[in-house]
Structure formats: C-alpha cells, structure tokens
Chain A
Amino acid sequence: MATRTVIPFGPQHPVLPEPIHLDLVVEDEKVVEAIPSIGFIHRGLERLVEKKDFTEFVFVAERICGICSFIHSQSYCQGIETIMGLEVPRRAHYLRTIWGELSRIHSHLLWLGLMADGMGFESLFMHAWRVRERVLNIIESTTGGRVIFGSCKVGGVRRDIDEPAMQSLLAALVETERETREIVQVFLNDSTVKHRLCGVGKLSHEDAYKLGCVGPTLRASGWAQDTRKLGYAAFDELTFQPITRTEGDCYARVAVRCDEIFQSIDLIRQAAAKIPAGEIAVKVVGNPNGEYFVRTEQPRGEVIYYLKGNGTKNLQRFRVRTPTFANIPALVKTLQGCNLADVPLLILTIDPCISCTER
C-alpha cells in the first residue's frame, strides 16, 4: 500500500478567489479522500434579519453574493410578496427575468474565464472576460450598477427599461452572442481543453441526484431539473427546456454552461418581445405574517430562501441554502480517485461561490 499524505488545499490558492479548504488525502498522485472546511468568512447575515426592516433587508440579501446578486434580491422579494399576497405587476416580473438572465450570462462568462485561467489558457480567459464586460455594460446602462443592481424591491422593481434602452440592450446582445460563439467553440472543440476536461471528475446520473446536486452540476449528469420551470417571474410565459448532458464529467459541466449562455440570450429576447406595458411596482402596506420557501434558479443552481414573518417589521427567520452548499458533497465524492493535478479544475467545475455559502 502506498504511503498516504495529507495535502492542504486552500483556503488561499491560485484557483480559489474565495476561501474553501480541503484536506486532500493522496496516495502517490491519486486523491483517495477529500475533507472540506468552510466557514472562514461566515457573516451571519441570516441573523441580521432580526435587526433590519423587511423592506430594507433587500439590500442585505442582494449583497449575499457579488455575482448572482440580483437573483438573491429577487428571491427575497418573491418570498415577501408571496407571504403578503402582493400582486406584482407583470412588467416588473419581466424586468426581473431580463436582469436575472443577464446575471446568468455574466456569471457563466466569468466562470468560463476562471476555468480557462485554471487551465493556464490565459488568452481564452481574457476573451471570456472581455465579452463579459459587454454584459456588465448592459447591466450598468439599465440599472446604474455593475455588480449590485439595486433594482429589485418588495412589490416590484425600482427602474424601468424604456423602449430605446430595450432596443439598445438587444443590439448589444447580438454582438455578445457572436463573440460568445467564438470563444465557446474553443471551450468545446480545442484539443488541449478537451484533454483536460473529458472523462475527468465523472459524476454518475444516480450520484448527482442522491448527493443533492443542483444547477449545471446536476444537469450535466443527465437530470433536466431547472427551477425556472416552476414558472416564477415571467418564466411561465417563456419557452425553454433545461439544458442537459449525459457524460457527467468536467467537459459536460462546461458544455451545459456554454449552452445556457445562449439560452439566456434567447430568454431575454423572448421577454423583450412579450413585456407588457404598465406599472413596475405596487405599494406595500403592512408587515409579513407567515412563512414560505422560495425556490429560484441562480447561475449555480437552485437556491432556497426560507422566510418567516410574525407580523412585525422584522422577519423572525431568514434562511438561505445556496447552490454551492448543495454541490459541496458531490465535489467531495468526485475528488475521490482523481489525479492531484485535476483537483483545481474539478473544484472549478462546480462553480463554487463561497461568498454565497458564507452568507
């Protein structure tokens, strides 16, 4: 039997912009066990809800993550609105859908860049982030923010997108799509990329489900599970099918995210074509009294918000289960048996967002 060595991986590591630690037990170059540690930057935001007015807490919820910030605020608002029985205008739902999908595009492009960087493919990394910059510009022109949108509020949205701005947005998406197709060709067809990803970190169809995976990690193992199919926001009026692959390896997880960029562009076009005129918010009267589990689809997968109000301005409980938290057990399983050199890429393919996880 080969000698076992424990190699500490993280919390500071070139491929990890955020802190997660893994104790990798290796035999020669093979990882035989991985023990995760999180909690280095746990912020206790769930507890802060007891001190903030429920309408103000949207700003805190949005800051749970710096990448999928808008969908966090959207999830929070949806929960409060459901508890209070608020009828949010359809136009606000469409605007939320558009901004949510823009978040998904920029998140996936950011991740593709990090993936290329992890492989040492620096020019591809720069191209991915260059295209992402276009998306951030669209977000900035429609919300005023690039990372924190500040557009969602309980009862609707704060900003509208008028017709000229919508046309400008759609025109920018044409160029974004063209440039994304160019870099996606490299991600999916380049021999060096395929060599690093194909057959690596396989997650079987059964394991992906049993381990509680969500998002692209689950869909890359053949499960057509996408929380947007629940029909929240404007998704009940848009046509799309979850994107799946069956290989369950790192390549499949990359391919799912690549295809989801184009799916999001299509969803934005559908939403822009169908968006109704009208109000963008309703007045909020009273305090939430009741409970609800909100489920939405973030770029990394299903997020769960549990909100419980007791009729006062402060919520009694605010709990978030982030997609990265749900994908950590699968990461631990797939690391078992992999080569030490593949560990960074394997970690990257679940698109870990520790900022979310340390809410």
Chain B
Amino acid sequence: MREEQPIVAVTPNTLVGEVKTLCDQGWRLVQIGVTSLGELFEVNYSFDRDQHFLNLRLQIPAAGASLPSISGLYWCAFLYENEIHDLFDVTFDGLALDFKGTLYKTAQPFPFANRARAGVSTTVVQPV
C-alpha cells in the first residue's frame, strides 16, 4: 500500500499564509520535521484531513536558519518548533511557548546541526 502524499513547495515568506489556509480548511497538523541536506535544511510540515496526507516543504540555509512560527495557528506546533530549535539550531519567530533551548537536555548543543561534521567545535555540557 502506497499512500498518496502530495508535496507543496512553500517559502518562509508564504509559509504562514499556506498554513492558515490549511487550518481554515480543517487540516490537522501531523508533524514538523527537518532533514539536513548539507548546506540546506529541508523542512516538512505534514497535515491530515479525513485520512488524506499533505506536506508543505521548504528549504532554508542551515547556517543561521530562521522561520516564522505557526504556533499562532496550530498551538501544538510549539512542541515541534522547540524540538527543531534544540536539535537543529533553527530559530522560530513568534513561538507561543518558547523553551529557549531547554526542551531537550542534550550533552552536545544542537546535535543534529551540521557543525560537528563540518569540523566546527562545539561546547560539551557536562552532566550535573
């Protein structure tokens, strides 16, 4: 069984408008996920309505990545966005609940960002 999974390309500028349209149409936010593509991050916003699956996809530079938060439309997005921040060092503007990097207590900051592989030193936080 292969489910139809349409992907709609968006940009950081059009993201909130597209998400609002889906929100108004009654789509449920299923997940937000990031894939590292070297110099770029690919971000997938997945939605479901009546067992139909839809993705909004955008790409942003991995270094200094920033996106507008959609937690104003889908409050539950705060958890995904905090997770992405803590793992990938992507900042979100307008987060409904900002943990300021304390959602995950990882030994290495932003462990899923590309810094370690790129040879950039990272500060290791010793457990207390």
List A288-330 residues whose CB lies under 8 Å from chain B: 292-293, 295, 302, 304, 306, 308, 316-317, 319, 321, 325-326, 328-330
The complex places the Cα of A42 from the Cα of B106 at a distance, in Å, of 7
B70 shortest CB reach to chain A, Å: 12
- Stretch in B9-17, B28-36, B59-67 with 4+ CB within 8 Å of A: B28-36
- Given A44, A236, A292, which contacts B111 in the complex, CB threshold below 8 Å? A44
Q: Would you call A121 an interface residue if the criterion is a C-beta within 8 Å of the partner chain's C-beta atoms?
A: no
A129 CB-CB contact with B under 8 Å:
no
Q: How many angstroms from the CA of A271 to the CA of B116 in the assembled complex?
A: 49
**Given known A39-B103, A42-B104, contact A47–B111 (CB-CB < 8 A):** yes
**B79 an interface residue at 8 Å Cβ cutoff?**
yes
Shortest B52–chain A CB gap in Å is 10
Can you name 7 A-B pairs with beta carbons within 8 Å? A35-B97, A39-B104, A42-B104, A42-B105, A225-B51, A227-B51, A328-B79
**Contact flags (1/0) for B37-54 with A, using CB distance below 8 Å?**
000000010100001010
In this complex, what residue of A is CB-closest to B53? A293
* Contact status of A210 and B74, CB under 8 A, knowing A37-B103, A321-B30: yes
Q: Is the Cβ of B30 less than 8 Å from the Cβ of A316?
A: no
Q: Tell whether B102 is near chain A: CB-to-CB under 8 Å.
A: yes
Q: Which residues on the B side are within 8 Å of A316 (C-beta)?
A: 35
- Interface presence of B55 (CB below 8 A): yes
Residues of A within 8 A of B (CB): 35, 37-40, 42, 44, 46-47, 82, 209-212, 225, 227, 229-232, 236, 292-293, 295, 302, 304, 306, 308, 316-317, 319, 321, 325-326, 328-330
Interface residues of A, dominant DSSP: mixed
13 more contacts with CB within 8 A, not counting A304-B31, A328-B79, are: A37-B102, A39-B105, A212-B28, A230-B1, A236-B1, A293-B5, A293-B55, A302-B30, A306-B44, A319-B33, A321-B31, A321-B33, A329-B79
Complex contact A229–B51 (CB within 8 A): yes
Q: Helix, strand, loop or mixed for chain B's interface?
A: loop
| A42: chain B residues within 8 A (beta carbon) | 104-106
Report the separation of the CA atoms of residues A212 and B45 in the bound assembly, to the nearest whole angstrom. 13
Q: Say which residue of A46, A295, A302, A329 sits within 8 Å of B3 (CB atoms).
A: A295
Say whether B78 contacts A329, CB under 8 Å: yes
| Beta-carbon contact of B103 and A212 below 8 Å | no
Of B1, B55, B102, B112, most buried by chain A (CB within 10 Å of CB) is B1
B29 to chain A, nearest CB (A): 5
A329 touches B1 (CB 8 A): no
- Whether B76 is near chain A, meaning CB under 8 Å from some CB there, is yes
Name the one of A39, A46, A211, A326 contacting B75, with C-beta atoms under 8 angstroms.
A211
Q: Contact between A319 and B35 (Cβ–Cβ < 8 Å)?
A: yes
**With the chains together, A292 CA to B35 CA distance in Å?**
13
**Chain B positions within 8 Å of A37 at CB level:** 99, 102-103
- Minimum CB distance partner of A319 in chain B: B33
- Least Cβ–Cβ distance between B125 and chain A, in angstroms: 12
- Whether A209 pairs with B28 at a CB distance below 8 angstroms is yes
Q: Which residue of B is nearest A38, CB measured?
A: B103
Is B89 part of the contact surface with A, judged by Cβ < 8 Å? no
Q: Considering the chains assembled together, what is the distance between the CA atoms of A314 and B31 in angstroms? A: 23
Least CB distance from B96 to A in Å reads: 10
Interface core residue of A212, A316, A326 (most chain B CB under 10 Å): A212
A232 to chain B: which residues have CB within 8 Å?
1
Task: Evaluate contact between B76 and A211: CB separation under 8 angstroms.
Answer: yes
Q: Chain B residues with Cβ under 8 A from A328's Cβ?
A: 79
B3 with A230: CB separation less than 8 A:
yes
CB B127 to nearest CB in A, in angstroms, measures 11
CA distance A308 to B5 in the complex (A): 14
| Residues in A neighbouring B53, C-beta threshold 8 A | 293, 295
By a CB distance below 8 angstroms, the chain B residues around A293 are 3, 5, 46, 53, 55
Q: How far is the CA of A317 from the CA of B111 in the complex (A)?
A: 14
Q: Check A306/B33 contact, CB under 8 A, given A38-B103, A42-B104.
A: yes
Q: Which of B35, B51, B79 contacts A230 (CB 8 A)?
A: B51
A39 x B2 contact (CB < 8 A): no
B75 touches A329 (CB 8 A): yes
Q: Nearest-CB distance from A278 to chain B (Å)? A: 18
Expressed in whole angstroms, the Cα–Cα distance for A304 and B91 within the complex equals 24
A35 to B112, alpha carbons, bound, how many Å? 25
Contact status B30-A231, CB under 8 Å: no
